[in-house]
Amino acid sequence: MSAILILIHPDHEPLLEENEALKSLCANLEQRLAEQGSNIAELRSAAELVGQLQELLEERDRENDELRHALAVARLSPESRARVIQLIRESAA
């Protein structure tokens, strides 16, 4: 096996140093890009969860409103309650 010796002209040393610095910078940027990709995936997942929780909260709010209205109707006198039920049935028809 023979070894190859490459002699570098002194004028080229700054170029080699700059090339190494650029390689290091590129590696750093690739690592940061991978981290950002991971962060984006996590944020998308969190946004999806927030959307699901928002829908659930809206559903629970509607249920609470219905229960509050039902309780208000239940507290009415029998005649008033019957009239409210009749009005609701008429509006639903």
The tens-digit pLDDT sequence of the chain (93 residues) is 566 766 666 666 777 788 889 999 999 999 999 999 999 999 999 999 999 999 999 999 999 999 999 999 999 999 999 999 999 999 998
Q: How far apart (Å, rounded) are the C-alpha atoms in residues 6 and 90?
A: 96
Q: What is the radius of gyration, based on Cα positions, of the chain?
A: 36
Q: How far apart (Å, rounded) are the C-alpha atoms in residues 84 and 76?
A: 9
Task: Answer whether 0.85 is exceeded by the pTM.
Answer: no
pLDDT value at residue 55 = 98
